[in-house]
Structure 1
Amino acid sequence: MADPVISLVIERIGDLLIKKSVFLKDVRRQVERLKNDLVRMRCFLKDADQRQDEDERIRNWVSEIRAVAYDAEDIIEIFASKIESIKDKGLAYYPRRIVSLNKIGKEIESLQIGLNDIADSREKYAIKNLGEGMSSPGKEFRRLRRTSPFSEDKDIVGFEEITKSLVAELLKEDENRRVVSIVGMGGAGKTTLAKKVYNHADVKKRFNCRAWVCVSSSYDHKEMLRSIIKQLNAMDNKLLEMLERMEEEDLERRLYQDLQDKCYLVVIDDVWEEEAWDCLARAFPDVNTSSRQLLTSRKRDAAQHADALSKPHELKTLGQEDSWQLFLRKALGHGDNAGCPPDLEEVGREIERRCAGLPLAITVIGGLLLTKRRLKSEWEKVLNSFNTNLSRSQSGVSAILELSYADLPANLKFCFLYLGLFPEDSVISVRKLIHMWVAEGIMQKRSAKKLEETAAYDDVEQLCSKNMVQVAEMTVDERIKSCRVHDLLRELAIKKAEDENFFQIHDTRDDKISAKSRYLAVHILPGDKNYFGSSTPPLRSLLFFNVHDYRENISFGFKSLRKLRTLDLENVMMDYMPKEISKVRLLRYLNLRETRIGKLPHSFGCLRYLQTLDIRTVNLVIVSNFIWKLESLRHLYARDIRCNVPLKIEGLRNLQTVSGIHFDHIMRNNMMTLTSLQELVMRVDDRSEIDKLCLHLSEVGSLKTFHLYRALGSEWPSLGGLSKLHHVTELKLSGMRLRMLPPDFPPNLSRLSLEETFLMVDPMPVLEKLGQLSFLKMKVAYGGPQLVIFRHGFHLLKFLELSRLYDLDEIKVEKGALPQLQCLRIRSCSRLRKLPEELKHISTLDKHELVDVPEDFISRIDADTVSNVPNFRIFDLPKERWWYS
Structure 2
Amino acid sequence: MVENRDPTIITSLISFIDDCSPICTRATNDLITKIRDAAYEAKDVLKSLIATHFLHKYGSYKHERFQKFPRSLEEVIKNIESVAKEVKGFQKDGSGLHERVISTIAGSLGSASRGSKSMVALDNDLETRILEQLVGGRKALDIVSIVGMGAVGKTTLASILFHSQLIKETFDIRGWVTIPQTYNAQEIVLAILKEIGVPLDGQKNGEQHLYQSLYGRKYSILLDDVWITQALDDIKKYFPGNENNSRIVLTTRQSELASYTNSCGSSHEMKLLNDNSSWRLLCKEIFLHKDCPPDLVEIGKVIAIRCQGLPLAISVIAGHLRKESMSKEYWKYVAENLNSVLKTVDDLIIEILSLSYDYLPHHLKAFFLYIGLFPRQYEGIKVASMIKLWVAEGFVKPSVSNCVEMVAMEYLKDLTNRNLIFVRLYDSFEAPRFCVIHDLLKDVCTKEAQKEKFCCVMKNRRFDTFFIEQSNNQRRLIIDPITREGDENNDSESDDDLTDLLIHLMKLLQVLVQMIRIGRITMFRSMIVIQRTTIFRNMIVIKIGSMIVI
> TM range, normalised to the smaller chain?
0.3 to 0.5
Indicate the structure whose relative CO is greater, using CA pairs within 8 Å and at least 6 residues apart: 2
Q: Choose 1 or 2 for highest CA Rg.
A: 1
Query: When the two structures are superposed, what TM-score results if normalisation uses the length of structure 2?
Result: 0.42
Normalised by the size of structure 1, how large is the TM-score? 0.27
